[in-house]
Structure 1
């Protein structure tokens, strides 16, 4: 759009002629031209928006099959969802997780974060991809927690909406008794961004030693048409294993996650570096309150009914892996802080001024990066905000074990 001065002309045009109306007539004409110009720009923008939406709908993958209106009904032969999450997917997940014997640093994964306290510890690695966002591998260890409790906590979608304020809505769309597959819709909110909509299919397996596996994949469903007020997430592949930590009263969840939710990658990195440990502590606090929560939710009752037995041949491979001299839990669990420290006390070390400054830097970075523009001004602003944010982290005296590379593993 041309500068305002170019459209309105020099200042002299606004001066009325001597005792006449010629100047005001000129001003009115120029104002009319300006309004017409803005109207044309608005019309063009609306047309581009409609064309973009039409392209997205054309590119959307076809729904697997018409779903039954009742989310609790369906058989493998009639619903057509049995191929969404298969045992072959589970085999690939088990091989990728390498539970009990994996050494991510030696495999080329970049360390992201390692923090812990008396109740919970967290460590994550990042593997960059050629196109799109990176993949993340994380291990979260909970002291004094059983695998069954942790499984129910992670799969309780109703309870998650009570403690996780990023989840706006969750609803079950369909479940299949034969295959054990569930399909659900979740809407999440992100600061200053359009809410993201996830249509996901998942399946849970239980092993003989009270370990549990889950695989989650994006999909489409006839009960969840595309809505313009949400951004539909087209890529989410996530799998986890919950198992007991050998020789300790603790259990851990190992997660392999890959997601493209349309968010600017640099913005996501910055958001993670500023908030992931707070989120882990919040999750741990919710886990400790969970046993006093009301009875099992619909999500948990359905999950328990549909859980399938872990394949015996895979169980043999996992047992051999667990007998390996390398123990993932022992390798990633950071030392616990001194006794008497409450679960998340170490988070309050920064002064209020530093906290406010960090918040302002984060908001400024999000506003800049969420635009996703490649012009020079946006790039310079992005570099300035990131440099200031990470410089502030360094000056705050964080320990090397608390260092982050500002990437985004998801739980």
Structure 2
């Protein structure tokens, strides 16, 4: 039996003689596409009609931040006590507490370790310890809390605006907008407090909050859950400090995709953050975020500080335990791989093979081919946008490393 010739480009896209009833299928497919386009046009027209009304009424959030009452109970010392207890348990032996190792890498400037707690439902929780050489706790604190400077080096943060604060309690509220590739921008309405301990270590607890002042907007997805806290302390006997972070967030992303994105992209982000930290001393005068933080920062509770000094972790806080594990992968300063991940290549290959198989079937009619062509165009457009986003991220890290 003679082998079948391979289909060329013209053969692949040439309409095949329709079987009985294929005309109805073609008409149905065309009608479906036409209705889809009609819906898009109606939505776009409604959006244009709504724009003048939105422009006429300025957003209340545009008002300058001011001291306000009623927000003092959003972040309390009980939140701080819970954070400290979790950090003490997590820093001792994370694996014995049920945390699963995710990554352990480092170079001469920065070392990073992270663990993950995967609940039966919902997004995972993360515990991380980052060590910065030749850095003071005050510098690292200001760097982490400088949201204006973050918008310069972190391309995911597109907007940050202070909304309210309370001088008595030290609670501050702000709105942050983050943009991720191929996703609707995420809106964060967050409240936090910062505490300073007597040994120049610093603590911060952040949580989501509801603020009637900021109305929901359809162009953003408001994050419904975020609980995050960190502790910055000096490493005894070394010119270095470390920040321990506990983070739990539900931003509406697919859980498995979020896990994969974290494990594959977090080290590149840490390297980019380290480069921005090294440039921070040459930054401009203190930003509004830093001035507000310095005014609102509170002293660490004395009874809690006494409890920390008496805890087992305090006696074990030596240079040996503060240094990241010797099993950490030592890498050159923030090198990035230039190859696509195997999962992305496999997914692209399966998409191409499956699409060719669907389009080259002898019974495919014109309507099916048009529908598949529409899907292919959209799919490959998303892949190109994803690739360009990755390329821009790599370019940014390479530039900052110079």
What TM-score do you get using the length of structure 1 for normalisation? 0.68
SS of structure 2 residue aligned to 1:169: strand
Tell me, yes or no, if the aligned pair for 1:180 and 1:307 is still in contact at 8 Å: yes
Q: Which whole-Å CA distance do the structure 2 matches of 1:334 and 1:121 have between them?
A: 10
2:35 maps to 1:39: yes
Quick one: distance in 1 between partners of 2:38 and 2:257? 29
1:369-410 CA-to-partner distances (Å, cap 9, x unmatched) read: xxxxxxxxxxxxxxxxxxxxxxxxxxxxxxxxxxxxxxxxxx
Q: Does 1:146 align with 2:136?
A: yes
Q: Quick one: structure 1 residues 313 and 328, their matched pair in 2 at CA, closer, same or farther if it must change by over 3 Å? A: farther
Moved more, 235-244 or 92-101: 92-101
Distance 1:125 1:337 in 2: 13
Residues 1:279 and 2:269 aligned together: yes
Distance change in 2, residues 1:67/1:313 (3 Å): farther
- Asked if the contact 1:116–1:336 (Cα under 8 Å) also holds between the matched residues in 2, the reply is no
Measured in 2, the distance between the counterparts of 1:131 and 1:100 equals 21
Q: In structure 2, which of residues 285, 288, 291 is the aligned counterpart of residue 298 of structure 1? A: 288
Contact 1:99 1:328 survives alignment (8 Å): no
2:332 equivalent to 1:330: no
Structure 2 residue 218 is matched with structure 1 residue 194: no
2:61 is the counterpart of 1:71: no
Shift of 1:103: 1.2
- Cα offset for 1:178? 1.1
Selected match of 2:153 from 163, 169, 181 = 163
* 1:270 to partner: Cα distance: 1.8
Root-mean-square deviation (Å): 3.6
Structure 1 residue aligned with 2:4 = none
Cα separation, partners in 2 of 1:152 and 1:94, compared to 1, 3 Å: same
| Alpha carbons 2:89, 2:97 under 8 Å: kept | no
Cα deviation digits, residues 50-109 of structure 1 (max 9, x gap): xxxxxxxxxxxxxxxx999541322xxxx2111100011111111111179521112121
Q: Does 1:112 align with 2:108?
A: no
In structure 1, runs of 5+ residues without a counterpart are 1-8, 15-25, 48-65, 368-411
SS, match of residue 192 in structure 1: coil
In the alignment, structure 2 segments of 5+ residues that lack a partner are: 1-16, 44-59, 352-402
The within-5 A match list for 1:104-253 is 104-253=94-243
Q: How far is 1:363 from its partner? A: 8.4
- The question of 1:320 aligning with 2:310 is answered yes
Aligned CA distance change for structure 1 residues 211 and 187 (closer, same or farther; 3 Å):
same
Give the distance between the partners of 1:132 and 1:337, measured in 2 at CA.
29
The runs of 4+ residues in structure 1 deviating greater than 6 Å are 40-44, 336-339
In the alignment of these two chains, the number of paired residues is 316
Deviation of residue 273 (structure 1)? 2.5
Q: Which residue of 1 aligns with 2:395?
A: none
CA spacing shift, 1:96–1:33, aligned 2, 3 Å? closer
Kept after mapping to 2: 8 A contact 1:125/1:138: yes
Pairing 1:84-99 to 2, within 5 Å after superposition: 84-98=74-88
Alpha-carbon distance change, 34 to 143 in structure 1, aligned in 2, over 3 angstroms? closer
